[in-house]
Amino acid sequence: MTDLHRLSIRELSEGLAGSKFSSRELTEHYLKRIAKIDAQVQSYVTVTPEQALAQADAADALRQSGMANVLTGVPVAHKDIFCTHGIKTTAGSKMLDNFISPYDATVVAKGKVAGLVTLGKVNMDEFAMGSTSESSYFGATKNPWALDHVPGGSSGGSAAAVAADLAPFATGTDTGGSIRQPASFCGLTGLKPTYGRVSRFGMIAYASSLDQGGPMARSAEDCAYLMNVMAGHDDRDSTSVNVAADDYVANLNATSVKGLRIGIPKQYFNVAGLDADVKARVEESLKKLEEMGATLVEIDLNMTDAYVPTYYLIAPAEASSNLQRFDGVRYGYRCENPVDLTDLYKRSRSEGFGPEVQRRILIGTYALSAGYYDAYYVKAQKVRRLIQQDFLKAFESVDMIAAPSAPTTAYKIGASLDPVEMYLGDIYTIAVNLAGLPAINAPVGFDKDQLPVGLQLIGNYWSESQLLSVVHQYQQATDWHTKRAAIAEETV
């Protein structure tokens, strides 16, 4: 079979269960595609063919014995921020170019229990800091829709791999938009769950109070399958919430679009820099949801202007603390011939971290230092609470809030944008992390250059099922999520 990569996760599951193809055939098919196509896309940092084929054979044996799960034998790509036992885990950094994790992240371990086959590890902005995947030590990943454009970031490798059909779905992480924005730039569906829904154990920390893992795939249905694997309480993550996870696949039709009240924040659609095509496509998708029975309600989110400054204090503050552990002593990069301990710290960190990571460490250290702590960090935490309250007030009168995922479509590679301009591009995603809410991106069409546009739906706490369900119904009524980039159509 030459078109296995065109099948949805449900079709893959059914095909494996019905012995239409084996996991080995499916895995070999994806490995062949990666070998042929990924040189152009550069979505993978590490491909693990031996391990993948061994896992595929084990999956086929389980199928034979009648002990298989729904996803046994289905391939996945993991963002290179999730620790994988015995396999290099880099977080896109020179600092961890030599790091072989001694254990699996909970998300990876759960994937193994579910029978998923790991194809490899995919690229990302260094330590998940960025919006383009260009800050990776391993080079920029390309957007499958236009190879001279970025796939977004930080989960750009995950998005590009799925959009080029080099993996049926992928894990991502979202600290301030890193699942939703690359999903938007690459025409995919991506879910950022409620903070605490997916275990952070073994997920290399960027900003611990904001980081959250989630699924990236073509459709809400495909995401629901991966969400069923990823979600759940974990004793090894103290911020993992002990609330039972839903069956996201079973709930795909549980929420009706009829009668759904969708809030349209006035402030969001008047942001300077909101691209006209993005605005038009998002408004068309909302019109479609209205036709399907939703009610659009104009709402106020008055804290919008505070999002970027608040996030860009809190995220770097936490990052500066989290990244202290990379000191050249215990693991990771160590400089050559240090003259003393201070020199070892200084040079290992200066040589091991790229410029964006160093910038954030400096900002964060400054904001946390005595004398500035109250003026910056404590103030930002207070504003963070106001941002959360703004959302909760909105949810008293609406069920969901709609927004673009990003003000523009994918940037040109190298166009980058001075750092502050890049930070402003996070305006629609970062408040969701500050508030700990769930949100989803769904593809809703293209701009004049044929680059994908995404709609973001933000829900109240624990509304992952509702978000997936609404997008699923939208996708039953439209076909944007089925569109494929030319490179994904290449056969091998």
Using rule CB under 6 A, residue 177 touches ligand GLN: yes
| Cα Rg of the chain (Å, integer) | 21
Q: Would you state the structure tokens that stand for residue 406, as one six-digit string? A: 């990003």
Contact residue for ligand GLN among 42, 48, 89, 175 (CB under 6 A): 175
Residue 353 and residue 206 in contact, taking contact as beta carbons nearer than 8 Å: no
382 is catalytic: no
128 vs 439, beta carbon nearer ligand GLN: 128
Task: Tokens 């003259």: give the residue.
Answer: 339
- Say whether residue 171 binds ligand GLN (CB under 6 A): no
User: Do the Cβ atoms of 22 and 61 come closer than 8 Å?
Assistant: no
Using CB under 6 A as the binding rule, the residues of this chain from 77 to 136 that contact ligand GLN are: 128-131
Q: Active-site residue 79, yes or no?
A: yes
For the chain, helix, strand, coil in percent to 5 are 45, 15, 40
Buried residues in 181-208 as b, exposed as e (16+ CB within 10 A): bbbbbbbbbbbbbbbbbbbbbbbbbbbe
Contact map string, positions 277 to 316, toward ligand GLN, x by CB under 6 A? --------------------------------------x-
Binders of ligand GLN among residues 199 to 258 (CB under 6 A) are 206
Residue number with the smallest Cβ distance to ligand GLN: 178
Catalytic-labelled residue, pool 22, 43, 79, 135: 79
Minimum distance from residue 165 beta carbon to ligand GLN (Å): 24
Q: Does 164 bind ligand GLN (CB under 6 A)?
A: no
Least distance CB 122 / ligand GLN (angstroms): 14
Mark whether 154 is an active-site residue: yes
Burial 212-222 (b: 16+ CB within 10 A, else e): bbbbbbbbbbb
Q: Amino acid identity, residue 200? A: R
**Which one of the spans 176-184, 226-234, 341-349, 446-454 is the region binding ligand GLN (CB under 6 A)?**
176-184
Contact 30, 166 (CB under 8 A): yes
Buried b (16+ CB within 10 A) or exposed e, 334-351: bbeeeeeeeebbebbbee
Task: Give the nearer residue to ligand GLN in terms of CB position, either 177 or 263.
Answer: 177
Stretch that binds ligand GLN, among 41-49, 53-61, 173-181, 464-472 (CB under 6 A): 173-181
60 backbone dihedrals φ, ψ, rounded to 5°: -65, -40
Among 48, 72, 84, 154, binds ligand GLN (CB under 6 A): 154
Contacting positions for ligand GLN (CB under 6 A): 128-131, 154, 174-178, 206, 315, 426
Which are the catalytic amino acids? Answer: 79, 154, 178
